[in-house]
Structure 1
C-alpha cells in the first residue's frame, strides 16, 4: 500500500494494473503523484538543498586525522543495493543517477535503511523484496524516497501495417511506473516522502538537452534526512572497477536475472562483492570499444549521452582495460566466491591472499601504504 500524508494513494486504473512495464496503473499513479502539492513541495525543498560532497579524506599530511573524522558510509553503484544499520553506518548513498532511480526505504522505529540504484523495470519486484528482507516486519509504514530519473522521453514515428504510430521512448518513465506499481500492490505500507523524479527532476542545458537536476543523494541513517550529494572517487570503494563491471556482465549471468547485485553484509559491516561471470570474448569486445572516440563512447554506451558526468567516458575505458587484462572471470572470482572486504580500525590495508598492492590499486587507484582514505578494508576469501 502506498501512502502520502498518511492517506492511501488511489488510482483509477484497473486493479490488475496492466503490464509489468509501465502499464496503465503505473501511469495513473505517476500522474496522480506528480500533481500532489505535498510531494511537489518536498521536491522543491530537496532541489534547494546544497549538494553535499562525500570524500574519504584528503591525501595530505593530516589525512589520518581527517580520515578519522570522516563519517562511515556505504556507497552503492548502479543495480546494487545495501541495507545498513545506523549503529554501524552514518551515511548511505549513491550518485551517477541519470535515467535510473534511487530508492530509499527506511524503518523509522529502528533506523534500518535500505537503498538501491534501480536501472531496469524487470529488476524492480525482485529488488524491492531484497531491500525489505532486513528492515523488519513492523506494522508501521516504512518511509520511501524516490529520487532520480528525468524527462528523457523522445517521440518517434513508427510505421506498421501501413499506418503511422507515435511511440514514446525513454528509460526513466517506465521504471518509475513499475516501482510505483509494486509499492502500491504490496501488503506492506509505504509512506512516500519524496518523489523527485521525471518532470520534478528535469532541467535543460544551454543546448536544449534535458538532464537531471539531482544526480545523487545521501541518507543520514540516524535521522533519515536525505540530501543531494556527489561522491569523490575515493569514496566509491571498495572494489570500484569490479563492481562497475558487474553491472554490465550481470545482464548475461542467469544468477542475477531479476535481482539487484549483492554488495554489503549488514550484520558484519563488511563488503561482500558477490560474484558474476563473463565470457572471454568480453576482452575482445572491450578492446574494440576502447578504440571508439569519446563522443562515440557516449552515444553507444549511455542511455543519456547529454546528461552523463564528465568522468563517464574514462570510467568506461577503465572497465575495458580491466577486462582486456583479466579476460577470465575466475581470476577475479575464484570458485565463484565473493570478494570480501572488512573495515580495519587502524586504517591499514591488510591482505589475507597476498595481493595487497593489486587489490588496493583496484580500490583506491594508489598504493595502500600511502592511502589516507577512511574507507580502509582488509580483503579475504570465503
Structure 2
C-alpha cells in the first residue's frame, strides 16, 4: 500500500529552514510491507541535511480497520488544502501523465526503484518523468493472457483490499512494457525527461518543452 508524504517548508532560507513532515497511508498488512516502507521512509528523511519535524504519522495500526477478519486501510488517499493545512480523505481519478510508463518502472524493478523520487518542481510548476530504463519483463505475453484474479493474487501485495481499478491498471502497465521493452530507446529517444505542466483552465497535464 502506498504512503502519501507531505513535506512543508515553514521557514525561509531552504535548505537551512525548518520542515514539517506528514506521513499518511500504509496499514497493518499480513506481510508487513507497509511497516518496512515506513521505516525506509523515516531512514531516508533522517539522512537529509536539513531539520525535519515529524508532525503527523497516520500509518500502520492507526490506519487499519478489520472487516470479517481482514485488515483494510482506513484511508487510501488524502487531499490537502494548502491554504489552511486541512487534510481530508480523497480519491484521485486522474493519476497524472504517463501512468503506465511510471508504473512500468516499479513493476519491472527498474533502476533505482527504491529511492525517493522528486518529480515535481513547485517553483517552475513542472512534473518531470525520466529518463530511465528498465529490464524487459520475461513472460509479459503470458501475464497478459492470465485472468484478472490470477493477476490480482500474484501482482498485488494485498490482493484482498485492492481498489476495483487495480487489475485494469496492471494490465495497461503490462501492455506498455510489451510495447516498450527498452524505454531508453523507444520512449526517451533523446535521453531527455518528459515535462508536463498543469493547464490552469482545464486542470489537465499537458506536455511542456523545457
* Higher normalized contact order (CA 8 Å, seq sep 6+, divided by chain length): 1
Aligned match of 1:218 in 79, 85, 100? 79
Counterpart CA distance in 2 for 1:252 and 1:243 is 10
Per the TM alignment, residue 301 of structure 1 is displaced from its structure 2 partner at its CA by: 0.5
Residues 299/342 of structure 1: CA separation in 2 closer, same or farther (3 Å cut): same
Counterpart CA distance in 1 for 2:32 and 2:74 is 17
Aligned match of 1:236 in 92, 95, 117? 95
Residues 228/265 of structure 1: CA separation in 2 closer, same or farther (3 Å cut): same
What's the secondary structure of 1:335's corresponding residue?
Answer: coil
> Is the CA contact (8 Å cut-off) linking 2:105 and 2:134 kept in structure 1?
no
Aligned match of 2:128 in 272, 284, 287? 272
Residues 200-254 of structure 1: CA deviation (Å, up to 9, x unaligned): 1111223x2111101111222233322221101xx222222222222223x332x
Per the TM alignment, residue 338 of structure 1 is displaced from its structure 2 partner at its CA by: 0.9
Following superposition of structure 1 onto structure 2, how do residues 21-40 of structure 1 map, counting pairs within 5 Å?
none
Unpaired segments ≥5 residues, structure 2: none
Residues 291/103 of structure 1: CA separation in 2 closer, same or farther (3 Å cut): same
Correspondence for 1:252 = 110
State the TM-score, normalized to the length of structure 1. 0.49
Residues 296/225 of structure 1: CA separation in 2 closer, same or farther (3 Å cut): same
Residues 172/268 of structure 1: CA separation in 2 closer, same or farther (3 Å cut): same
Unpaired segments ≥5 residues, structure 1: 1-97, 111-133, 154-168, 348-372
Number of residues of Structure 1 aligned to a counterpart in Structure 2: 209
Correspondence for 1:334 = 189
Correspondence for 2:15 = 136
What's the secondary structure of 1:231's corresponding residue?
Answer: coil
Instruction: Verify: 1:150 aligned to 2:27, yes or no.
Output: yes
Correspondence for 1:12 = none
Counterpart CA distance in 1 for 2:48 and 2:117 is 22
Residues 233-282 of structure 1: CA deviation (Å, up to 9, x unaligned): xx222222222222223x332xx265223422333212221122134x43
What is the CA RMSD across the aligned residues, in angstroms?
2.6
Residues 246/181 of structure 1: CA separation in 2 closer, same or farther (3 Å cut): closer
Structure showing the higher helix proportion among its residues: 1
> Is the CA contact (8 Å cut-off) linking 1:183 and 1:190 kept in structure 2?
yes
Counterpart CA distance in 2 for 1:334 and 1:182 is 32
Counterpart CA distance in 1 for 2:87 and 2:127 is 23
Following superposition of structure 1 onto structure 2, how do residues 254-333 of structure 1 map, counting pairs within 5 Å?
256=112, 258-279=114-135, 281-282=136-137, 285-329=139-183, 330-333=185-188
Counterpart CA distance in 2 for 1:278 and 1:145 is 31
Counterpart CA distance in 1 for 2:97 and 2:59 is 29
Per the TM alignment, residue 179 of structure 1 is displaced from its structure 2 partner at its CA by: 3.4
Residues 101-157 of structure 1: CA deviation (Å, up to 9, x unaligned): 2221111246xxxxxxxxxxxxxxxxxxxxxxx95311x4x222111111114xxxx
Correspondence for 1:190 = 52
> Is the CA contact (8 Å cut-off) linking 2:106 and 2:113 kept in structure 1?
no
What's the secondary structure of 1:152's corresponding residue?
Answer: coil
Counterpart CA distance in 2 for 1:321 and 1:182 is 33
State the TM-score, normalized to the length of structure 2. 0.85
Residues 329-358 of structure 1: CA deviation (Å, up to 9, x unaligned): 12111133211223446x5xxxxxxxxxxx
Per the TM alignment, residue 323 of structure 1 is displaced from its structure 2 partner at its CA by: 2.0
